[in-house]
Amino acid sequence: MASIERWQEDRWRARWRTPDGRQRSRVFSRKADAVRFLTKVEADKLTGMYVDPQAGRVTFREYAEDWRSRQLWRESSMDRVESLLRNHLYPALGNMPLNAVRPSDLDRLVKGLSEKLAPSTVIGVYRLAASVFKAAVRDRILGTSPCVDVRLPTKPQREVVPLTPEQVAALAATIPDRYRALVVVGAGCGLRLGEATGLTVDRVDFLRRTVKVDRQLVTPGRGEPWLGPPKRPASNRVVPLPSVVADELAAHLHRCGQGPEGLIFTTARGLPVRRTSFGGTFRQAATRAGVPLPERGGFHELRHHYASLLIASGCSVVVVQKRLGHASAQETLNTYSHLWPDDDQRTIEAVDEVLGTVLSSLIPPREVTGEA
């Protein structure tokens, strides 16, 4: 039971038990404060909102490591999280008790990182910290998270400039022969690199001209590549297989054969294609072909090219979203809205086509005179 007793003449000690039966105590200078505190403790215990004051003494590093070990991530995601924690969060917050971290500490962290890292990286570090503190609140280790009202750097929005068909052809002609079909698949089906390198023969229906995308090749920094689930549930899709892509795939399989587990694309040694090594090969081919790539640009530029072809042919936002495997139409619009025809021009064409036709058929043309 909770109780209050006099402590060292002018102080009062409140004593209570946690929901799991552990005894706790806290000293106050006024009895009224002790009563108010115990009242809140008992109310929090009844409502399931109780937070043990001593639980928050665990350091950020200790809790983050335990939290990280409990997450269901792909190995590549695990490597990235470990890197962000080790290089950015632990040096700043690692030895601090969770309940000692204040919003001002996050402000200083974000400001310091912003002076040397790209905005996207800073935002990623902050969101990781916020996830750790959110989990601590959920575990009743903290009452509230310090990640509130922290101002983040603005992530510049790069307007996508798709590759032209001539540039795609130049890339396909310049890249090593065994990757030519890989370039054509990216440009003609809009697959992500992991989806394309993880493509197996049984996922390609040459008769019905479709490609089933339901997994990707995961290439972690350590360990062997493996076939895992796609980026997100919306990435599961069936993509039409154009004739030009089907012909390239057929020629590639005739020339190179299948790899392990039926993989269509492999290295010269017959091994799965790793993201990092192919990225270098792709950029080298672009340099030789005279194809300019944006900073950090790579295979994904072929996906942008595919989207631009769909938009230019009149496909709706929903169709483009489904072909690319985006989670929402908003994601598609955020990336490619500038590629759709201008609304002003569409308005002019619509009025001219409908109203202009009706007016010309019902109202005879007037003679032009010099009268005002």
- Residue 142's identity, in one-letter code, is L
Residue 125 CA, chain-centre distance (Å), reads 13
Which pLDDT value is given to residue 128? Answer: 96
Taking only Cα atoms into account, the Rg of the chain, rounded to an integer number of angstroms, comes to 30
145 burial (CB, 10 Å; 0-12 / 13-18 / 19+) is buried
- Residue 349's identity, in one-letter code, is E
Q: Pseudo-torsion of CA 277, 283, 284, 287, nearest 10°?
A: 180
Domain 165-339 class in CATH: mainly alpha
Same topology, domains 57-138 and 165-339? Answer is no
| Residue 151: how many other CB atoms lie within 10 Å | 10
Which pLDDT value is given to residue 134? Answer: 95
Question: 55 with 19: CB under 8 angstroms?
Answer: no
Q: What CA–CA distances, in Å, run from 156 to 117, 128, 174, 265, 286?
A: 13, 20, 32, 35, 25
Residue bearing tokens 């039926």: 262
One of 3.50.50.60, 3.40.605.10, 2.130.10.10, 1.10.150.130 is the CATH number of 57-138, namely 1.10.150.130
Domain ranges of the chain: 3-50, 57-138, 165-339
Q: How much of the chain is helix, strand and coil, in % rounded to 5?
A: 55, 10, 35
pTM for the complete prediction? 0.70
The token pair at 195 is 């989806």
Return the half-sphere exposure (C-beta side, CA atoms, 13 A cut-off) of residue 226: 10
User: What does the pLDDT profile of the chain (372 residues) look like in tens digits?
Assistant: 688 888 877 888 888 788 777 888 888 888 888 888 888 878 877 777 777 777 778 899 999 999 999 988 777 788 889 999 999 999 999 999 998 999 999 999 999 999 999 898 999 999 999 999 999 988 888 888 999 999 999 877 778 899 999 999 999 999 999 999 999 999 999 999 999 999 999 999 999 999 999 999 988 777 788 898 887 888 999 999 999 999 999 999 999 999 999 999 999 999 999 998 999 999 999 999 999 998 888 999 999 999 999 999 999 999 999 999 999 999 999 899 888 876 666 666 667 677 766 776 666 665 655 554
Which pLDDT value is given to residue 181? Answer: 96
Which pLDDT value is given to residue 222? Answer: 73
Handedness of CA 347, 350, 354, 360 (dihedral sign): positive
- Residue 208's identity, in one-letter code, is R
DSSP 97: B
